[in-house]
Structure 1
Amino acid sequence: MLIRVVFSLLLLLSGSASASLLSQQGQPARYMQTTEDAIIWAQVGNDVVTVGNVRAGQILAVVPTRADYYEFNFGFGTGFIDKGHLEPVQGKQRVEDNLGDLNKPLSNQNLITWRDTPVYNAPDVGSAPFGTLADNLRYPIIGKLKDRLNQTWYQIRIGNRLAWVSSLDAQPDNGIPVLTYHHILRDEENTRFRHTSTTTSVRAFSNQMTWLRDQGYTTLSMYQLEGYVRNKMNLPARAVVITFDDGLKSVNRYAWPVLRAYGFKATAFIISSRIKRHPQKWEPKSLQFMSVSELKEIQDVFDVQSHTHFLHRVDAYHRPILLSRSYHNILFDFARSRRGLSQFNPHVLYLSYPFGGYNATAIQAANDAGFHMAVTTVTGKVKPGDNPFLLKRLYILRTDSLEAMSRLVSNQPQG
């Protein structure tokens, strides 16, 4: 069953919304009732996974397919349920009478599941159970209310059904962490950059990646982060974006093998004017940049994106020169960077501002140059509805403990 679902998804555009899916197939939704408890699947990130179950006797709006499963709206994407678990709704009663207002917009807020989470037909634990949501999901919320005991309930929509989740069983989504790194060195060779916050040790980085792996985190691409910001993609609860700025040779030498060993993905924001024609001999006392061949070598892990072309400099007052450049100068540089990086990636859609510096002119130029999003060095997590050209990031320092990393990365509110 799952293999057939995966095959079907290969025919679809990644992250396509259910409404467009229905129109592509030309099939109107129909209301069906579950005859028994039924497992449901959906695409979450890059994988099709079990996302919960629906109890017997529940009504869903589904779309017929040629396969032996139906499709239905699940979050920002498509869910799948075996046809053998459904039958036409019995009786003459209008199904819609019991479904509430299905035109309510989403609230730009998700809930997060950390265990199998009960879903109810009403905001009351005594109401009939609708089913469950699986562990490790982000799911969009329509609204909230408090019951007579002052307990908060989240209203959600599954297969055109309104349903409820208790805040005792799920958490509000506090955003996705985007981790920032630059330079990595072994402790014994780091004689020059030991006290710079942008340099971490191979040991610390490896321990941090091990922690992410052991905690079950998925590493996301910037494309997936865009789907999250724009409310267009289902993503797991335990998710993180890993970014490296500048394009230093140490990324190839030390970060790439660790990430590859764990099956992780990352984004490399490259200063396109500093790419070397040929690899340099390793010299840990210098800031060396990757060559063309080294950049191509790491592309099984790293997605290459822009850190500008000539704008990664400071003026006499140690301020980013981008802040003093004209709109046309910035736009020209952004376009030149995208062209220069096209040999590694035909879809250079994301930008990291040099030194985190930006202003209204740079934001406008980034948009006009064709970038979809840009990251800053402002501390915080990324949330749905954030300005896509002012995305926050987090630094995990060489001296930070794994407990400190856990506090930053996990789904805790940021102060």
Structure 2
Amino acid sequence: MRFHIKIAATLAGVLTSLLAPAASAGLVSADNALKSGYMEAKRDSEIYSLIGEQVIPVGEVKEGQLVQVFPADAEYYELKFGHGVGFIDKDDVERLNRAQAEKVKDPLGELNKPLTNQNLITRQAINVYTAADNKSEIFGILEENLRYPIIGRLKDRLNNTWYEINLGDRLGYVSELDCEVDNGIPVLTYHHLLKNDENKRFRHTSTTTSDVAFSNQMTYLKQAGYDTISLYQLEAYLKNRINLPGKAVVLTFDDGLKSVYRYAYPVLKQYGFRATAFIVSSRIKRHPQKWNPDSLQFMSISELKQLQDVFDIQSHTHFLHRIDGYKRPILLSRSLHNITFDFEHSAARCRSSTRMCCISPTRSAPITRRRCRRRKTPVSIWR
């Protein structure tokens, strides 16, 4: 792999320009009459892409292999990579002659098959083959710690499973023995945190976590190489709109308790993690409350503003986070009109307190002990 810090910075600018086409009109060189077309790799050629929020090396196209490219800027071509785009150096590829172009036909339309809503995960760098046979020509490489969409499956003569993928608008094959199937993204949920020696009232409450246990869990995630992603990124993942790392996790904190500001916020900030706080907006305090481990205090306006360098603030309703006389959530007995009014009120209160808060079904998920997978209804995702 070549030294890539400068390249990554350049490509970050390219990605920004692609999101604002008018601003990028001057970036594409005049000699780029090519709107799109297949080109041949002159050498083993590195691919870069945006994974989560970082532009990193994500793979390689082998010398002599063909990929379809599109103009990006004066130095790079764009190509299809997963649910997004990759970039390849213009000096690494060259135009095809007519005979070479015949090699890229897709008579069965495999590349146009609908997505399976299933990804593979790479735990190490793996080969992508030109056929479902590990003795076939190697088309390219996928780097470790990637999630990559599967467009099909088939069996070889030994009954081994192979996954079909689209890389640069070429059909590639990955052995199931070289990767894992994506079983979803874990979404961890916390509520209340206390030190062991101060926890007298909430010791046997399942929603209370010791500060030591929490710190150990975050240390594990950091050492294991996990990236914390936002719920906006999770939503894009569920809609097949983003490339995420294989090791991705979402951290959420319910209710808006002061203990999160006191014990979770410093640890998350230390590790460079991000999280989402679901705030019961009727409980936001005008001024910080005095700390008392024997009762529940809620965060103030100033505390919520301070932790926004780590936390995304979302709604946990305004007045509907309660139970009725039968110990059932009152939310279940309210009309659509009442629920809508409450959420609108909650969003307005969050915005006035923190100047940021957006409500979406994906960011109001129920709590379970399962991973978050693609499902038909956003409100049914798990955390």
Q: Does 1:379 align with 2:369?
A: yes
Q: Does 1:34 align with 2:41?
A: yes
Q: Tell me if the contact between 1:152 and 1:166 (Cα under 8 Å) persists in the aligned partners.
A: yes
Give 1:95 deviation, angstroms. 4.5
Q: Tell me if the contact between 2:313 and 2:356 (Cα under 8 Å) persists in the aligned partners.
A: no
The equivalent residue for 2:10 is 4
Q: Does 1:104 align with 2:113?
A: yes
The equivalent residue for 1:76 is 83
Q: Does 1:219 align with 2:225?
A: no
Q: Tell me if the contact between 1:100 and 1:162 (Cα under 8 Å) persists in the aligned partners.
A: no
TM-score (normalised: structure 2) = 0.92
Among residues 264, 270, 280, which one is paired with 1:271 in the alignment?
Answer: 280
Q: Does 1:55 align with 2:45?
A: no
Query: How far apart, CA to CA, are the structure 2 residues paired with 1:291 and 1:99?
Result: 62
Evaluate the alpha carbon distance shift between residue 100 and residue 348 of structure 1 in structure 2; reply closer, same or farther with a 3 A threshold.
same
Q: Tell me if the contact between 1:374 and 1:390 (Cα under 8 Å) persists in the aligned partners.
A: no
Q: Does 1:124 align with 2:133?
A: yes
The residue correspondences of 1:232-243 to structure 2 (distance < 5 A) are 232-243=241-252
Residue segments in structure 2 that go unaligned for 5+ positions in a row: 1-6, 21-27
Q: Tell me if the contact between 2:14 and 2:73 (Cα under 8 Å) persists in the aligned partners.
A: no
- Point out the more displaced range, 185-194 or 88-97: 88-97
Evaluate the alpha carbon distance shift between residue 59 and residue 252 of structure 1 in structure 2; reply closer, same or farther with a 3 A threshold.
same
The residue correspondences of 1:7-406 to structure 2 (distance < 5 A) are 7-13=13-19, 28-92=35-99, 93-97=101-105, 101=109, 102-343=111-352, 344-350=354-360, 371-393=361-383
Letter in 2 for 1:348: C
Query: How far apart, CA to CA, are the structure 1 residues paired with 2:36 and 2:316?
Result: 45
Give 1:100 deviation, angstroms. 5.1
Q: Percent identity?
A: 55
Query: How far apart, CA to CA, are the structure 1 residues paired with 2:78 and 2:375?
Result: 27
Letter in 1 for 2:249: V
Query: How far apart, CA to CA, are the structure 2 residues paired with 1:249 and 1:347?
Result: 19
Give 1:249 deviation, angstroms. 0.2
Give 1:116 deviation, angstroms. 0.3
The equivalent residue for 1:405 is none
The equivalent residue for 1:402 is none
Query: How far apart, CA to CA, are the structure 2 residues paired with 1:192 and 1:305?
Result: 28
SS of corresponding position for 2:97:
coil
SS of corresponding position for 1:11:
helix
SS of corresponding position for 2:254:
strand
Query: How far apart, CA to CA, are the structure 2 residues paired with 1:59 and 1:12?
Result: 24
Evaluate the alpha carbon distance shift between residue 100 and residue 115 of structure 1 in structure 2; reply closer, same or farther with a 3 A threshold.
farther
Q: Tell me if the contact between 1:374 and 1:391 (Cα under 8 Å) persists in the aligned partners.
A: no
Q: Tell me if the contact between 1:229 and 1:386 (Cα under 8 Å) persists in the aligned partners.
A: no
Query: How far apart, CA to CA, are the structure 1 residues paired with 2:180 and 2:355?
Result: 37
Evaluate the alpha carbon distance shift between residue 158 and residue 209 of structure 1 in structure 2; reply closer, same or farther with a 3 A threshold.
same
Q: Tell me if the contact between 2:186 and 2:370 (Cα under 8 Å) persists in the aligned partners.
A: yes
Give 1:346 deviation, angstroms. 3.8
Letter in 2 for 1:207: N
Query: How far apart, CA to CA, are the structure 2 residues paired with 1:118 and 1:323?
Result: 51
Q: Tell me if the contact between 2:314 and 2:363 (Cα under 8 Å) persists in the aligned partners.
A: no
SS of corresponding position for 1:314:
coil
Give 1:2 deviation, angstroms. 2.5
Give 1:303 deviation, angstroms. 0.2
Give the CA RMSD over aligned residues. 1.8
Evaluate the alpha carbon distance shift between residue 144 and residue 187 of structure 1 in structure 2; reply closer, same or farther with a 3 A threshold.
same
Q: Tell me if the contact between 1:99 and 1:161 (Cα under 8 Å) persists in the aligned partners.
A: no
Give aligned pairs, total: 364
Letter in 2 for 1:94: E
Give 1:167 deviation, angstroms. 0.4
Give 1:96 deviation, angstroms. 3.7
TM-score (normalised: structure 1) = 0.85
Query: How far apart, CA to CA, are the structure 2 residues paired with 1:26 and 1:378?
Result: 53
Q: Tell me if the contact between 2:104 and 2:170 (Cα under 8 Å) persists in the aligned partners.
A: no
Letter in 2 for 1:378: T
Give 1:262 deviation, angstroms. 0.2
Q: Deviations over 1:307-344 (max 9, x none)?
A: 00000110011110001111111111011111111132
